[in-house]
Amino acid sequence: MATPLDAFLWACTLDVAVPKPGNVSIASPGHRMVADQFIASAAAAAASLCEPGAAVGRRIEGAVRASWAAAGCNTNLGIVLLCAPIALARERCAMPLAPTALQDMLHRVTLGLTVDDARAAYRAIAHANPGGLGRAPAQDVAEEPRIDLRAAMALAADRDRIACQYAQGFDELFRLGLPAFQQGLDQGIPVAVLGTYLRWLASGPDSHIVRKHGAALAQTVTADAAVLRDEWLAHGSLAGSKALSSWDTQLKTRGINPGTSADLTVATLFVAACLDPSLVSRSMDGALVA
């Protein structure tokens, strides 16, 4: 049976194997990065992220530092922040595992986060130095935290969708992301991955775009994603892939990277594989969208 480490690597591999508009993939580099950097950073991060018995903060810090050493830049901070508590929750659950059981355990994990978790996560964020982070009026990551990690994330929940997952017990992963992935599975894993990404991007402004380019542009990208997703779904398969490929080029030419939506997609895939480890052994069935 596939382990959580296998599930994480599977999710990260799909992140670059399936082209997603605006994101780096094997078929489409961008933002001064290539797919090999993401693959290398995932491989480097996996051991720390899935370290048995480790606290969430320790997992985050170890994974981010290993990723940076492997890739030389920030490739997966958001992925690590999302997947570290999922990995601990999965570790604490017995198989077979129902979605409600994993979601409940994940909620317990977030409620049990400590100030030490916050300290380690802050160090990791500072080390990754993500673009457009800016300053916060309270509990800024450049300062020593005085509250636990969940409470710190709650302060940023209204402006950062990753922080929002911590504040809301990762509810959106199970309510929005997982159903989108499962809906596309009958057409193959690549279709399911792309459908999940478009669902996240169409559901609200991407936090990374907001930080880098402002709320107005982020809202425009969200609206475009909703239109393209509807057109793509209306064809019943991949008939709209040319429009998606053209949009990918447009976004990258303008330096627009919906990175948070990609991170949420990886987290969704990680959850899906934790629930159904047989997914990891499935081939990349179905045509890739290029």
What is the DSSP secondary-structure string of 139-180?
S-TTS---S-HHHHHHHHTTT-HHHHHHHTTTHHIIIIIHHH
Phi/psi zone of residue 12: left (φ > 0), alpha (ψ -120 to 50 degrees), beta?
alpha
Q: Quote the pLDDT of residue 285.
A: 54
Q: Does the structure show a pLDDT above 80 at 156?
A: yes
Per-residue model confidence (pLDDT) at position 280: 95
Three-class SS state of 33: strand
Q: Which pLDDT band holds residue 288 (cuts at 50, 70, 90)?
A: very low
The 10s digit of each residue's pLDDT in 170-204 is 999 999 999 999 999 988 899 899 999 999 999 99
36 lies in some domain: yes
* Residue 242's pLDDT band (cuts 50, 70, 90): confident
Q: Is 30 domain-assigned?
A: yes
Report the CATH number at residue 103.
1.10.4200.10
Degrees to nearest 5, angle at CA 86 with 55 and 65: 55
What pLDDT is attached to residue 132?
A: 47
SS3 of 56, please?
Answer: helix
286 in a structural domain: no
The answer to whether position 233 is within a domain reads yes
Report d(CA 129, CA 184) in Å as an integer. Answer: 35
Q: Is 75 helix (H, G, I), strand (E, B) or coil?
A: coil
Q: What is the mean pLDDT of the chain?
A: 91
Distances from the Cα of 288 to the Cαs of 11, 240, 242, 250, in angstroms? 16, 12, 12, 19
Res 141: pLDDT: 65
Q: Which two tokens stand for residue 247?
A: 């949009």
Strongest mean pLDDT among 101-115, 119-133, 272-286: 101-115
Nearest to 60 by CA among 109, 3, 133, 22: 109
pLDDT > 90: percent of the chain:
82
User: pTM of the entire structure?
Assistant: 0.93
Q: Which has the higher per-residue pLDDT, 288 or 3?
A: 3
Average pLDDT, integer, range 39-53: 98
Q: How far apart are CA 109 and CA 250, in angstroms?
A: 40
Residues sharing a CB contact under 8 Å with residue 132, sequence separation 6 or more, in sequence order: 208, 211, 212
Given pLDDT bands bounded at 50, 70 and 90, which one contains residue 230? Answer: confident
Q: Rounded CA gap, 155 and 162, in Å?
A: 12
Given pLDDT bands bounded at 50, 70 and 90, which one contains residue 60? very high
> Within a domain: residue 102?
yes
User: Buried b / exposed e across 120-143, counting CB within 10 Å, b at 16+?
Assistant: bbbbbbeebeeeebeeeeebbbee
What's the domain count of the chain?
1
- 43 lies in a domain? yes
Contact between 92 and 109 (Cβ < 8 Å) = yes
Q: What would the mean pLDDT of 138-146 be, rounded to a whole number?
A: 71
Range of the domain at 122: 4-281
pLDDT tens-digit map of 263-286: 999 999 999 999 999 999 885 554
> How confident is the model at residue 38, as a pLDDT?
96
Using DSSP's 3-state secondary structure scheme, residue 30 falls into: strand
pLDDT at residue number 284 = 59
**Can you give the pLDDT at residue 143?**
76
Q: What backbone phi and psi angles, to 5 degrees, belong to 33?
A: -135, 160
Q: What torsion, rounded to 10 degrees, do the Cα atoms 173, 178, 87, 139 define?
A: -10
245 inside domain? yes
* Contact indicator for 147, 115 with CB cutoff of 8 Å: yes
Is position 130 within any domain? yes
